Amino acid sequence: MNSDLSTSKAAGHLVNGRQMTKPQQAVTTTPKMKTFLVEDNATIRDNLISTLKELAPVESVGCAETAEEGANWLTSQQSRWDLAIVDLFLKSGSGLQVLQACRKRGSRQKMVIFSNYATREMRLRCAELGADAVFDKSTEIDALLTYCQSHTDNLAARR
């Protein structure tokens, strides 16, 4: 078998020295969930955005560092987001304020808290303010990715 021979049909792969692409009928488009992130730590924010883009069907539509910025964008751009991922401790204000501001969001829009402070009491408080889920940054990234996939599947079924 020649070393340049490949059975892959994925776009960008070489087969016998020729560029190959997937057949048009085999291409399926997974809808992307429009996601807004409220996180003040630039390193965490950038890493989370790249991880979500790579491992979940999401499209980042923006981010904010403060509760006021996040609440203002989310409430004024109702048609532009499906999921908001919010940290509790922000540069200014709290993720709880963002949750409070977005209580009257559309039924398709989900808000999750992604924080290192995901205690039992805080999870209950977040649920009272309308959070759809709470994930611990240090132990529940896989659960957040699973949530994103599940919510995307639900959105696709509604569209």
- How far apart (Å, rounded) are the C-alpha atoms in residues 31 and 148? 12
Q: Return per-residue pLDDT of the chain as tens, 159 residues.
A: 444 333 333 344 444 444 544 444 444 566 899 999 999 999 999 999 999 999 999 999 999 999 999 999 999 999 999 999 999 999 999 999 999 999 999 999 999 999 999 999 999 999 999 999 999 999 999 999 999 999 888 777 766
- How far apart (Å, rounded) are the C-alpha atoms in residues 12 and 20? 6
Q: What integer pLDDT is reported at residue 157 of this predicted model?
A: 76
* DSSP classification of residue 32: P
- How far apart (Å, rounded) are the C-alpha atoms in residues 87 and 98? 10
| Domain ranges for the chain | 1-29, 31-158
Give the DSSP H or E segment for 112.
Answer: strand 110-115
Q: What integer pLDDT is reported at residue 159 of this predicted model?
A: 60
Given the DSSP bridges, would you call strands 18-20 and 13-15 parallel, antiparallel or unpaired? antiparallel
Q: How crowded is the C-beta side of 29, counted as CA atoms within 13 Å? A: 4
Q: What integer pLDDT is reported at residue 28 of this predicted model?
A: 53
Instruction: Report the topology of domain 31-158.
Output: Rossmann fold (3.40.50)
Q: What integer pLDDT is reported at residue 15 of this predicted model?
A: 43
- Pinpoint the alpha helices (H) of 25-117: 42-55, 67-76, 95-101
Instruction: Please choose, from the candidates 62, 136, 126, the residue with its C-alpha nearest in 3D space to the C-alpha of residue 99.
Output: 126
Q: What integer pLDDT is reported at residue 151 of this predicted model?
A: 87
